[in-house]
Amino acid sequence: MTALGKVHTHLFLLGMVGFLLVALFAERKNLADQKMFKAFMCIYNVEVPLSAVMMLIRGILQVQGIALSSGANAAISGVSGMGHMMTGIGLVLLLLSLRRAAKD
């Protein structure tokens, strides 16, 4: 299976289900006023498209059978890794903002 086969699942979970869950919490707990929640939204809105684009690039190259140099392969992996790290940072910010909202 290529990376192209995983793009739909990632976008479905991160893009739709994730935002639906966040919207439910944001509506109930008034998260929009918190700095950490605003930072989460900024990071998450950059990370999801970045990850999707890198998976698309990797998948298209795999389907086309294009051999990559080690530098190009490392660059794609590095940018994808940064997207995953941003996902983790964003989720930590979301959890911290939810914790703060629960205390209020």
Domain extents for the chain?
4-103
Contacts with 50 (C-beta within 8 Å, 6 or more apart), sequence order: 79, 82, 83, 86
30 CB-side CA count, 13 A: 3
78 CB-side CA count, 13 A: 6
CA separation (Å) from 24 to 8, 21, 53? 23, 5, 27
Q: Which two tokens stand for residue 68?
A: 């990559």
Q: What is the pLDDT of residue 32?
A: 86
22-71 pLDDT, tens digit each: 988 888 888 888 999 999 999 999 999 999 999 999 999 999 999 999 99
Whether 5 shows a pLDDT value over 80: the answer reads yes
Whether 104 shows a pLDDT value over 80: the answer reads no
Q: What is the pTM of this model?
A: 0.83
Q: Are 94 and 37 in contact (CB under 8 A)?
A: yes
